[in-house]
Amino acid sequence: MPDVLTARDAGVLTVTLNRPEKLNALTAGVHAGLHEALGEAADGEIRAVVLTGAGRGFCVGQDLTEFQGAAGDVGAHLRATYHPTIHAIRGLDKPVIAAVNGVCAGAGLSLAAACDLRIAADSASFVPGFVSIGLIPDSGGSWFIVQLLGQARAFEFMSAGKPATAAEAHAMGLVDEVVEDAAARAGERAAAYAALPTRAVGLTKHLFEHAVTATLDEQLELEAHLQSQAAQTDDFREGVTAFLEKRPAKFSGR
């Protein structure tokens, strides 16, 4: 079986990390599969993406057996494999929803944090991981987790190394929803996104990403620039026409 599976259902692409016996630890093979899957997600017919794990784990980060004996140049490994994955998720102009079906640790936690939404199973757990083996948060973890939790709580969580339950993760703002079946709920959320004006959703993602480091004037300018693009879409025309005709809009994603 491939290390990463993809399945299409209408406008939704589900990407499943598929090393269940190793809780979907990330190897070079998983990275290659993930890059390919995220490339498929860029297809114009895909309007929302779900990222999940097979079995009882979401993803436990780097497969530590690849670093047995000698770690080698970890920085180079991050740049060559993890950074493109994180950029692919953030650069995708459609929502990526993490269905955190089970344990999520280390770079797996960073991966979930890089997604646009996180739906956790009530049985999921969130393991900082890094500090417990003498490492620091990587794969964007030091950026996304600060965005989600704020600097002080992010430091407390990531430096203490203590796992959080799904309920605790929800309380601290790490996950958006806790449900019994994360994949089913993430599928529902993705299907709802796939019926929305996809370009507007993608531009909103880009706009909010930019807001993190922008001044107000820079943000006002980007809003004006991107709104011009949104106003050129079929979905804008359909949205206004449907409103005026007092009927539900049917958005094509174009």
Interacting residue ranges for ligand LHQ, rule: CB under 6 A: 22-23, 25, 60-65, 74, 77-78, 82, 103, 105-107, 127, 129-130, 133, 135, 138-139
Structure-block tokens of residue 64: 């530590």
Nearer to ligand LHQ, 49 or 59 (CB): 59
Nearer to ligand LHQ, 53 or 129 (CB): 129
Q: How far is the CB of 59 from ligand LHQ (least distance, A)?
A: 9
How, if at all, do strands 96-100 and 12-17 pair?
Answer: unpaired
Nearer to ligand LHQ, 129 or 187 (CB): 129
Q: What are phi and psi of 148, to 5 degrees?
A: -80, -40
First to last CA, the chain: 35
Q: Find all residues with CB under 8 Å of 36, minimum gap 6, and list them.
A: 4
Q: How far is the CB of 45 from ligand LHQ (least distance, A)?
A: 32
Q: How far is the CB of 21 from ligand LHQ (least distance, A)?
A: 6
Nearer to ligand LHQ, 77 or 185 (CB): 77
CA-wise closest residue to 14 among 211, 185, 146, 195? 185
Q: How far is the CB of 88 from ligand LHQ (least distance, A)?
A: 16
Cβ pair 49, 13 in contact under 8 A? yes
Q: How far is the CB of 172 from ligand LHQ (least distance, A)?
A: 19
For residues 223 and 123, what is the distance between their CA atoms, to the nearest angstrom? Answer: 40
Q: Distances in Å between the alpha carbon of 205 and those of 43, 137, 223?
A: 17, 24, 12
Nearer to ligand LHQ, 9 or 122 (CB): 122
